[in-house]
Amino acid sequence: MTKIQDSTEYTFGMRDQLIIAQALVLGIQELKKVPSPFTELSNILDMEWLLENPFKNMSVVAHLMAGEASRINNKITEEAN
């Protein structure tokens, strides 16, 4: 465990870490949709680093939550059409 990861666990509660990790996952997904030359690559890389390091403990859960939300949203959209 790194010092940054260790301090993140003591600075933020588990729910805080999860919310931030989920925001990072969703933010990365949306920023990657921005067409070139407007893609903010440095922001994407920084957000990925944050997700893989200080918020590593919640990264998998946040990815699963974002994927499940997307799947549910797609199903609702399909049923509405």
What's the distance, CA 6 to chain centroid? 19
Q: Tokens 């990264």 belong to which residue?
A: 59
Q: Can you give the residue range of the structural domain that contains 48?
A: 3-80
Q: What is the pLDDT of residues 14-23, one digit of tens each?
A: 999 999 999 9
Decide which of 40 and 4 is more confident: 40
d(CA 3, CA 38) in angstroms, rounded, equals: 34
d(CA 76, CA 67) in angstroms, rounded, equals: 14
Residue 8 has pLDDT above 70, yes or no: no
Question: Percent of the chain having pLDDT more than 70?
Answer: 89
Question: Percent of the chain having pLDDT more than 90?
Answer: 65
Q: How many independent structural domains does the chain possess?
A: 1
pLDDT band at 38 (very low <50, low <70, confident <90, very high): very high
